[in-house]
Structure 1
Amino acid sequence: MNEWENKIICGDNLEILKKMPDEFIDLCYIDPPFFTSKTYEVIWNDGAEIRAFEDRWVKMGETGRYTKDLNVYLAFMEPRIKEIYRVLKKTGSFYLHCDWHANAYLRVLCDQIFGYDKFRTEIIWQRSKGHSLAKGFDIVTDTILLYTKSNEYIYNQQYNCNLDLDKRFPYIEKETGRRFNHYTLEKSSNIKNNDKVRIIQGKKVETNLGWVWTQETFDKKIKENPYIIYWTENGRPRYKLYADEYKGKKISNLWDDIPMVSSTSKERMGYPTQKPESLLTRIIKTSSNEGDIVLDAFCGCGTTLAVAKRMNRRFIGIDISPTACRLMAKRIGYNIHEVIGLPMTTDEIANLSGYEFQNVVLQFFSSYNPEAVKFGQIGVDGGVDGWYYDAIIQVKKSKISINHIKELEATMYSKNVKYGFLVGLEISSVVVKEAARVKTCNMPLSIYLFTYDDLIEKKHVDAMIEINKKHNKVM
């Protein structure tokens, strides 16, 4: 199993799950895209990457267009959930994070795969307080479906301890100084014990209701703690519950005590659907123990991995996005070369989407001098994919053409910039001559041309050093 433990894997989660052995995962949490048909622009918190995050599920055929067909979405999810079921231990648990767009359909799908009787609960997470919409109900909750593979599963009860103990335990025991509150020992629900007598601290006490404790329990409790009985002014016995023994309020399926990751939070990574670490902490504590293996097959920015590692669990994180995998590697202190399946060669990089390709290229600049790199915006970049100080960086997922030189030239003139980097898959001698031409114009420009292979061989570093000198900076 060591080949799977504590790994970040970049690739299609279905193909990766198929390679995993049967029944070796203790806990699986997934937070797949919610089928909202949204496209997000993401700028990571360190400013070092930009990414188009598309919540559209599946591209259709050769067109590259995304489908909004719910049946296609369910067909996407079904084999993945089946594989998750297969790799879970008999004692394993599965948490599926979703929202109103598809939670009803996912519930039916999971019932079919896990069995209706293996559904444990529907957790409702209140992620925000509301948005003051003009009309209609604000949607402020997500759903987390919990299934187990069998009836014998790991479950560690969790408690909410964020309570005002002084208010909840207002009395102080004079003999010990301990805070306490007192509760009834007589209830009508215990009417079967009606009129039965109890000997309590040497006193013979009768009740018209019913006793909560048997005589044996009274004797045992008083032997363990002679101060446990509280006598009212009317001479009725009650039992004490102490603040220092109070675990907290038992957590229910309504989680309204965990806020979203705020814009100022230290854990914020800039990921548009990032979940708070406290949410994953509760899930991991509840359904796993130290040393167990936690799987997240839609790992995003790596919150599950960060929490699992901190809580001494082994982990496996899978995501199809190289950008996300590099981010989670940085988050948990891994080198990017430790990420399994991360595209590194020119051919592998060329098969990435445009924004993923752009991110990889820009990493070659930010890895040397991250403070000098700034990134453009999706759709409104005006020909700018990034900046290195005041030099424009433009990335082309193709062979660089003369038109690309002219476009960059026009952008540089419009922004009054003298230096530019143009990176593509191939560079012809004609393009090199065109770049040389703009250097001899009335308003000379310096355009540095590089292929992806050039970046791997660090041929761009000399140009970066040259620009550093103009800014009196050392790289």
Structure 2
Amino acid sequence: MNIYHGDNYDIMKKLIDEGYAGCFDMIYLDGPFNSGRIFTRQIRGTNVELVDPWHELKSMQLYDKPELYLEDYKKRIELARELLNNRGVLVLQISQKEGHYLKVLLDSIFGREHFLCEVIWKMAEKPYPLRGQFGLSHESLFFYAKTDMVKKHNRLLFPSIWDDVGFYEELGEEDTLYPSQKPQKLMRRILEATTKRGDLIGDFYCGSGSMPFMAQALGRKWIASDTSWQAVQVTKDRLYEIGVRPHIFRIKANIPADMEGCWEVPYINEDGIHESQKVRIPLPTLVFQDNNFVLEHEDWRTWCLYNVLHVTLREGKHIFEWDRIQERIDELLSLPKDTYIQESHRGKDGDIRINDIFGCDYYYHNRKYKFSVPESI
């Protein structure tokens, strides 16, 4: 029951190095749909959305050049295949924009003879506007076996159209408000079709944690990961509600610092986000005063500039609006600085690890502070 925070490419390579190759019974990949949408961290009670500018830039680049998106996904699918055992199954969920291209990619990696099924999940009662008079109301799940040794885990014959396992708009009490959260019924169906009790499940884009949550409920072992610290937190909180305390590991800092405590980011000004030009900005400093931890920075406005959302997707294009960015910065600066600290963890040795809303980690030990990347929280 481990949750990893970091790039799943690094995490899957690490798992292979640690001897997990050929150990997984099922791996579920609900990765980016390349829809152009920028996934952000919403600050509750505000209109402010935070984002790592490197992730934002990468999302824009992949959207503008789909061949880069496929190449990026390909290397992750190859690692997932290596992690599967000979009876294992890969389940990849995707929308129609890139689905056909990923189907061909999966054929090339697993072999066309190992394609099991394409399942259509009806994910909405009311179609989402798509183009012209057409609307989108389904997503696809591609099932692939690693070898011919795949086992049938259920005597039931599952149909290829699933319209009875919940919708995005009807999550009810299980809704965590996390973007694109999948219904528990859908996760249950996938697990029942591909695994049995005691099997090891991998979910390397875990998002809201629906898959590890249901895997735990059905007696499966699991390992999950996500690049978003918010996703890790939401997953952890859902598991806490059922009395499960997962181990959380951080492979890399969400915001890597150099030896001088600075962060190298793509240069941003009123002309846009510059792909080739970079700039170094200092990180916030953690200060203990009046029995509380607070963050200080020499130039909060610049720091906020490099953490707020910069573009809006409109009619298939990413629009950079400098005035709107300044409004987001103003709202962020109007918040009390103590709200910038998200949560703290006290270790058994008395050390304190603190996370802020921007994705930074801080380590406080014996009244001394340093920026640090803990291997395990």
Fold in common (TM above 0.5): yes
CA, structure 1 residues 52+278, in 2 after alignment: closer, same or farther (shift >3 Å)? Answer: farther
> Which residue of structure 2 lines up, in the alignment, with residue 37 of structure 1?
36
Q: Structure 1 residues 137-146 or 334-343, which shifts more?
A: 334-343
Please give the alpha-carbon distance, in whole angstroms, between the structure 2 residues aligned to 1:253 and 1:261: 19
Bigger CA radius of gyration? 1
Measured on the aligned residues, the alpha-carbon RMSD in Å equals 4.4
Please state whether the residue corresponding to 2:9 is helix, strand or coil.
helix
> Which residue of structure 2 lines up, in the alignment, with residue 66 of structure 1?
61
Deviation at 1:14, TM superposition (A): 1.1
Please give the alpha-carbon distance, in whole angstroms, between the structure 1 residues aligned to 2:181 and 2:152: 25
Please state whether the residue corresponding to 2:148 is helix, strand or coil.
coil
Please state whether the residue corresponding to 2:106 is helix, strand or coil.
helix
Letter matched to residue 142 of structure 2? L
> Which residue of structure 2 lines up, in the alignment, with residue 284 of structure 1?
191
Please give the alpha-carbon distance, in whole angstroms, between the structure 1 residues aligned to 2:96 and 2:357: 42
**Residue 262 of structure 1: which of 163, 169, 177 is its match?**
169
Please give the alpha-carbon distance, in whole angstroms, between the structure 2 residues aligned to 1:48 and 1:9: 28
Q: Deviations over 1:309-343 (max 9, x none)?
A: 11111111111122222221222126697334374
Kept in 2: contact 1:42–1:53 (CA 8 A):
yes
Please give the alpha-carbon distance, in whole angstroms, between the structure 1 residues aligned to 2:114 and 2:97: 23
**Residue 332 of structure 2: which of 377, 382, 385 is its match?**
385
> Which residue of structure 2 lines up, in the alignment, with residue 75 of structure 1?
71
CA, structure 1 residues 51+352, in 2 after alignment: closer, same or farther (shift >3 Å)? Answer: farther
> Which residue of structure 2 lines up, in the alignment, with residue 441 of structure 1?
none
Please state whether the residue corresponding to 1:34 is helix, strand or coil.
coil
CA, structure 1 residues 263+289, in 2 after alignment: closer, same or farther (shift >3 Å)? Answer: closer
**Residue 310 of structure 1: which of 217, 237, 261 is its match?**
217
2:143 equivalent to 1:142: no
Deviation at 1:73, TM superposition (A): 0.7
Please give the alpha-carbon distance, in whole angstroms, between the structure 2 residues aligned to 1:344 and 1:57: 10
In the alignment, structure 2 segments of 5+ residues that lack a partner are 267-281, 287-291, 294-306, 310-324, 342-355, 369-377
Letter matched to residue 153 of structure 1? V
2:4 equivalent to 1:9: yes
In the alignment, structure 1 segments of 5+ residues that lack a partner are 1-5, 160-249, 362-366, 369-375, 397-422, 426-450, 460-475
Q: Deviations over 1:91-148 (max 9, x none)?
A: 0001000011111111111111101000000000111123485942211110100000
Letter matched to residue 326 of structure 1? Q
CA, structure 1 residues 85+387, in 2 after alignment: closer, same or farther (shift >3 Å)? Answer: same
- The share of aligned pairs that are identical, in percent, is 21
Deviation at 1:297, TM superposition (A): 1.2
> Which residue of structure 2 lines up, in the alignment, with residue 121 of structure 1?
117
CA, structure 1 residues 340+377, in 2 after alignment: closer, same or farther (shift >3 Å)? Answer: closer
Q: Deviations over 1:187-218 (max 9, x none)?
A: xxxxxxxxxxxxxxxxxxxxxxxxxxxxxxxx
2:81 equivalent to 1:85: yes
Letter matched to residue 339 of structure 1? F
CA, structure 1 residues 91+48, in 2 after alignment: closer, same or farther (shift >3 Å)? Answer: farther
> Which residue of structure 1 lines up, in the alignment, with residue 231 of structure 2?
324
TM-score after normalising by structure 2: 0.64
For these two proteins, the number of residue pairs brought into alignment is 293
Please give the alpha-carbon distance, in whole angstroms, between the structure 1 residues aligned to 2:357 and 2:201: 39
Kept in 1: contact 2:171–2:183 (CA 8 A):
no
Structure with more strand by fraction: 2
2:337 equivalent to 1:341: no
Letter matched to residue 309 of structure 1? Q
Please state whether the residue corresponding to 1:317 is helix, strand or coil.
strand
Please give the alpha-carbon distance, in whole angstroms, between the structure 2 residues aligned to 1:132 and 1:37: 15
Please state whether the residue corresponding to 1:262 is helix, strand or coil.
helix
Please state whether the residue corresponding to 2:174 is helix, strand or coil.
coil
Letter matched to residue 120 of structure 1? L
Q: Deviations over 1:250-290 (max 9, x none)?
A: 53010011222436611111122111111111111111111
Please give the alpha-carbon distance, in whole angstroms, between the structure 1 residues aligned to 2:195 and 2:169: 27
| 1:363-382 → structure 2 map (5 Å cutoff) | 379=325, 380-381=327-328
CA, structure 1 residues 303+382, in 2 after alignment: closer, same or farther (shift >3 Å)? Answer: same
Kept in 2: contact 1:322–1:343 (CA 8 A):
no
TM-score after normalising by structure 1: 0.52
> Which residue of structure 1 lines up, in the alignment, with residue 90 of structure 2?
94
